[in-house]
Amino acid sequence: MRVVQLLPTLSFGDAIGNDTIALKGVISEMGYTTDIYAENIDKRLPEGIAQKADKLRDLKKDDVLIYHKSTGTDLTFKIDNYKCRRIMVYHNITPPEFFRPYSTAATQLTEHGYKGVEYLRDKIDYVLAVSAYNRSELVKMGYTCPMDIRPILIKFDDYRQTPDEATIKKYSDGKKNLVFVGRIAPNKKQENVIRAFYCYKKLNPESRLILVGSSTGMENYYERLVKYANALGIGDDVIFPGHIKFSEILAYYRLADAFVCMSEHEGFCVPLVEAMFFDVPVIAYDTSAISDTLGGSGVLLDNNDPVFAAAVIDRVLKDEKLRESIIEGQRRRLEDFSYERIKATFEKELTDFINGKKA
């Protein structure tokens, strides 16, 4: 019996690509013949890690196809061609409303993505949603098949690599470093992080904001963020590293005094877990899957008022006992995302499905 994974793009270093590759290892350890198929395979990935999607043929009725859904693609509308058992891993799709002011292409892509989710409603046998928020969204869209929650599988050993020394040296100057990690995109609401930083900087002038993430495809939004920071008079202290090496990302986590997230749409948000791993206190606006991922840890903001956010940041950075309490809570939550625990969850869910216990 084969258990294969299918997705439109297998990217280097992103959460979905890492999850897919990690699951391949788990499926293989379970004793199944497995492989990854994708329409686009990042050339930076090891050769042979995946095959082109058009090579996926001859699936039998007892085989299992695991389809990762996270974007708009015509591949979704070909799922019915595979006459086998089908699982969808739902990573969520960013609502197109966020992109309309900035990118027609991104708007159309996400609209196509939602049409695909609707199309799959009666064509999927079982869903693994990466958060409770994602599962609730599918329920609202009329999904009636069995659904369970299986958080993204994260290899934490990767984060134990040596961080970039030059980056650490450059920003270890005594200033407080507020950090957010995530692609530069309108749903991430980096402008609201900048607003909060503007207010915080009045409480502590010796501070900077580092917004880590690529702006590829969202250049219009990035330019507006830069202009906004400059108009507020804080442009020199709002850093956009852009697309950087993994060792540099690790360095920014090491440098962070607080992780500030004002995002308005997340299907899971891996950087929240990464911040937990590095003992960085998380302060996040309570939207979408944020509270699911934090699981009672960190500090949840019930509104995005920048003055309020700045006051919370200031309190967390000044009150050592509070900071220690937050970090301790995040350490407990991090245990829920341990590789072995999520691996065991997936193994049980897949085994139950194969044995007909998820009908």
CA dist., res. 238 & res. 77, Å (int): 42
CATH number listed for the domain at residues 3-154+338-354? 3.40.50.2000
Res. 194: pLDDT tops 80: yes
pLDDT grade for 316, boundaries at 50, 70 and 90: very high
pLDDT at 159: 96
Kindly state the tokens that stand for 222. 């990035």
Res. 359: pLDDT tops 80: no
pLDDT at 358: 85
Kindly state the tokens that stand for 211. 């917004």
Counting residues of the chain whose pLDDT is more than 90, the rounded percentage is: 97
Res. 13: pLDDT tops 90: no
- What is 158-335's CATH superfamily? Glycogen Phosphorylase B; (3.40.50.2000)
- The DSSP symbol for 33 reads B
Minimum mean pLDDT range among 43-47, 192-196, 301-305, 339-343: 43-47
| Domain limits, the chain | 3-154+338-354, 158-335
Res. 7: pLDDT tops 90: yes
* Cβ atoms of residues 103 and 217 within 8 Å: yes
Res. 295: pLDDT tops 90: yes
Average pLDDT of the chain to the nearest whole number: 97
* Cβ atoms of residues 330 and 282 within 8 Å: yes
Stretch 156-185: mean pLDDT: 97
Which residues partner with 66 through β-bridges?
5, 87
User: How many beta carbons lie within 10 A of that of residue 122, not counting itself?
Assistant: 11
Find how far residue 139's CA is from the centre of its chain. 21
Stretch 339-347: mean pLDDT: 97
pLDDT at 168: 98
pLDDT at 243: 87
User: Does 3-154+338-354 match 158-335 in CATH topology?
Assistant: yes
Q: Which amino acid is at 121?
A: R
Q: Tell me the pLDDT tens digit for each residue of 86-141.
A: 999 999 999 999 999 999 999 999 999 999 999 999 999 999 999 999 999 999 99
Stretch 322-331: mean pLDDT: 98
72-78-83 Cα angle (round to 5) = 140
